[in-house]
Each structure stands twice: as structure tokens, then as C-alpha cells.
């Protein structure tokens, strides 16, 4: 994708808009309303970006989404503008937002056409590390072996490692084995995109991610880790025999169900751009903050080509700023 430097800021504006609208619903107990507001703002802002975009990871079939659905064409570009794949999660952490809990973010990943690959399963088994432990992990190896390898890469004992895991009943055995190995655990209730990114951030205190989470989030996380020099391995995780059969009926084989998808398999090449804006605040990005007629957002922009990471603080004057609404087909107030 050409013009990466100038277009990256446009994608930051997309996640800012979604975060601003979602933050209005923080702690109000209605995750569907929060998600709808973020989707509408993100979709409207994408209309202003000079691209020919296709949503490859979006709200998806399980959300019955009217916008940002897989295969939707987005962007305001013409024939000479770049054709790009887009993966979005208007709110990674809708429950976190509705309950006013930390670590909800709005994210978008973009790359040249054909660079972002969707997985057909709703969920995936994942393991992720930062650049210091790249090349050390094997999702098919025993958990203890992965911890020992990562510990050696960091030059520490296993007891000094911290693994990040979604707090779900399905992870009881994973949590038990991590504890048995002597490593520390950081449990998160939602938001495993931010969790995967944390493994590659120097000051996060997190070394490795284990567990089963959403497949769309796996692809978005892989895109971010491409920009940070980290590594992710993913395997499809059908929830039941019906979903397994559905995947096979789509043309996938039994071998595909057992295949290990590497970072480069689902986020290819160096054209990847990743942008995120904090909604509720947390370890990764601060929350949207309101001060009278001013709203302050905190975002990050990353590029795989240069591995540049930029943090952007924006001050939005609410008495004059509006956001394009796709639903209402007009500019609306924040």
C-alpha cells in the first residue's frame, strides 16, 4: 500500500470516532448500544478515507451486523486509490465498556489486498509472545516447554514470567498447569487483542499469552504483532461437532483443522498498519476523558514496514466537532 505515512492518520481518526461514541456508553450496562454506536461512527468515518477497502474481519455472522460485515466494501476512494483488506473491532471489550471496566479499545488493521486472512471458526487456540521470544514457541508443544523456552529467551527463571489468559472456565486446566510450572498469571475478563499486544510491549510486564479466544481477534492481534516484531500461532477451535462439520462443508479439510497458522499466514507482508484508541483505559491505552466541551483520546499507530510505534493524544472540541453517521446519513454530535 502506497502513501502509508499519510493514510495512517486517517485510520487513527476512524478508531478515535468509534472510541468517542462508545465511551458515551461506558458503565451504562448496554453493550449492544455501545457496539452499535462504535460501529456507526467507524463505518461513517471509513467513508472519508481514500481507499478501496474490503472488510475481511468485521462484526461478522454471529453478530448479524448491518454494517462492517465481512465482504462489505468501504472507503471513499476511486479507481486510482489503493485496494486494501480491513480488519476491524469497533470495541474489543464490549462487556468491559458496558460495565465500565478497563482495557476496552477500538482497533483497525489494514493491509494490501490479500494480506489479511480470515479463519472460518468462531474461536481459535492461541499462543503469542513479543520479539524477544520470537521463534521460541510451539502451540503443539507442552505448556511447560513453551514457558521454559520463553524464560530462556528472557534470561530469567520460569517463576519470573507472567502469562496472560482469558478468565474462562475452558482455561481451568491451562491456569492449573501454568501455576504448577511456577509462572505468574494475569487473568483478563475480556479484550484479548490488548492481551496479545501486551506480550510485545516492553513495560507491560507480560511475557506470553495462552488460550482460546475469538478468531477475528486472533487475526487483528497477529497484524499488531507483525508491526511489533512479535509472534503468534493459532489453531482453529470448533466449539462442537456441528461447527466442525460446517467448516469441513466450506471446503476445509481435517488437516486444515489441525494446521498451525503462523503470524505471516494470517497477516502477510510489510504493508500492515494497525491503529487503536483507548475507550475505558487500562494497561495499553488511557481512557477517553471528558472535560467540559473537550474530549481527549489516546491512540497508537503502528507500521509493519518500519516497526514504528506512534502514540497520539488528540483534543476534540465537542462544541464544533462532529462525526459522520452512516445510520443517519449526516454529521452528528459526539
Kindly state the helix (H) or strand (E) to which residue 196 belongs, with its residue range. helix 192-198
Q: Judge whether 4-114+270-333 and 123-266 match in fold.
A: no
- Residue-level pLDDT at 2: 45
CA–CA gap between residue 332 and residue 334 (Å, rounded): 7
CATH 3.30.540.10 fits 4-114+270-333, yes or no: yes
Extract the C-alpha cell encoding 96: 468491559
| 264 in Cβ contact with 241 (< 8 Å) | no
Q: What are the backbone angles phi and psi of residue 84, rounded to the nearest 5°?
A: -135, 150
Residue 4 has what pLDDT?
59
168 φψ region: left (φ > 0), alpha (ψ -120 to 50), beta (else) = beta
Q: What is the pLDDT of residue 62?
A: 46
What pLDDT does 83 receive? 94
User: What are the residue boundaries of the structural domains of the chain, listed by start?
Assistant: 4-114+270-333, 123-266
Task: Determine the pLDDT at residue 24.
Answer: 96
* Helix (H/G/I), strand (E/B), else coil: 308: strand
By three-state DSSP, how is residue 235 classified? strand
The reported pLDDT for the residue numbered 151 is 98
Name the CATH code of domain 123-266 (choices 3.30.930.10, 3.40.190.90, 3.30.1490.190, 3.40.640.10): 3.40.190.90
The structure's pTM equals: 0.93
Q: What percent of the chain has pLDDT over 70?
A: 96
Q: What is the spatial order of strands in the sheet that 123-129 belongs to?
A: 184-188, 162-166, 208-214, 123-129, 231-236, 261-262
pLDDT at 45: 95
pLDDT for residue 61: 52
Q: What is the mean pLDDT of the chain?
A: 94
Over residues 75-121, the pLDDT tens digits come to 998 988 999 999 999 999 999 999 999 999 999 999 999 999 989 99
Q: What is the pLDDT of residues 245-298, one digit of tens each?
A: 999 999 999 999 999 999 999 999 999 999 999 999 988 999 999 999 999 999
2-6, 126-130, 306-310: least confidently modelled range: 2-6
pLDDT at 65 over 90: no
Contact 65, 94 (CB under 8 A): no
Which pLDDT tens digit goes with each residue over 186-213?
999 998 999 999 999 988 999 999 999 9
For the chain, give the percent of residues with pLDDT over 90.
87
Amino acid at each position: 500500500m502506497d502513501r502509508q505515512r499519510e493514510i495512517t492518520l486517517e485510520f487513527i481518526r476512524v478508531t478515535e470516532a468509534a472510541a468517542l461514541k462508545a465511551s458515551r456508553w461506558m458503565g451504562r450496562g448496554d453493550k449492544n448500544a455501545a457496539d452499535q454506536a462504535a460501529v456507526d461512527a467507524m463505518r461513517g468515518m471509513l467513508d472519508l478515507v481514500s481507499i478501496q477497502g474490503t472488510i475481511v474481519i468485521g462484526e461478522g455472522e454471529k453478530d448479524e451486523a448491518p454494517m462492517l460485515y465481512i465482504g462489505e466494501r468501504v472507503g471513499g476512494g476511486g479507481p486510482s486509490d489503493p485496494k486494501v483488506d480491513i480488519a476491524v473491532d469497533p470495541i474489543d471489550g464490549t462487556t468491559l465498556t458496558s460495565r465500565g471496566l478497563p482495557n476496552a479499545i477500538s482497533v483497525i488493521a489494514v493491509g494490501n489486498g490479500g494480506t489479511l486472512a480470515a479463519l472460518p471458526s468462531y474461536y481459535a487456540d492461541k499462543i503469542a509472545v513479543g520479539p524477544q521470544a520470537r521463534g521460541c514457541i510451539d502451540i503443539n508443544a507442552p505448556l511447560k516447554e513453551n514457558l521454559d523456552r520463553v524464560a530462556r529467551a528472557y534470561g530469567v527463571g520460569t517463576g519470573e514470567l507472567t502469562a496472560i489468559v482469558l478468565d474462562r472456565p475452558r482455561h481451568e486446566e491451562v491456569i492449573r498447569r501454568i501455576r504448577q510450572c511456577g509462572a505468574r498469571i494475569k487473568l483478563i475478563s475480556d479484550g484479548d487483542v490488548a492481551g496479545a499486544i501486551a506480550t510485545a510491549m516492553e513495560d507491560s510486564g507480560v511475557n506470553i499469552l495462552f488460550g482460546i479466544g475469538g478468531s477475528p481477534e486472533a487475526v487483528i492481534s497477529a497484524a499488531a504483532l507483525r508491526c511489533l516484531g512479535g509472534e503468534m500461532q493459532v489453531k482453529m477451535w470448533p466449539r462442537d461437532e456441528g461447527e466442525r462439520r460446517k467448516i469441513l462443508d466450506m471446503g476445509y479439510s481435517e488437516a486444515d483443522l489441525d494446521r498451525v497458522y503462523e503470524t505471516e499466514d494470517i497477516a502477510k507482508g510489510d504493508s500492515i498498519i494497525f491503529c487503536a484508541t483507548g475507550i475505558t483505559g487500562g494497561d495499553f491505552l488511557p481512557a477517553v476523558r471528558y472535560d467540559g466541551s473537550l474530549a481527549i483520546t489516546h491512540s497508537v499507530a503502528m507500521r509493519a514496514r518500519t516497526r514504528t510505534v506512534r502514540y497520539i493524544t488528540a483534543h476534540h472540541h465537542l462544541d464544533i466537532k462532529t462525526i459522520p453517521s452512516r445510520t443517519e446519513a449526516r454529521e452528528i454530535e459526539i
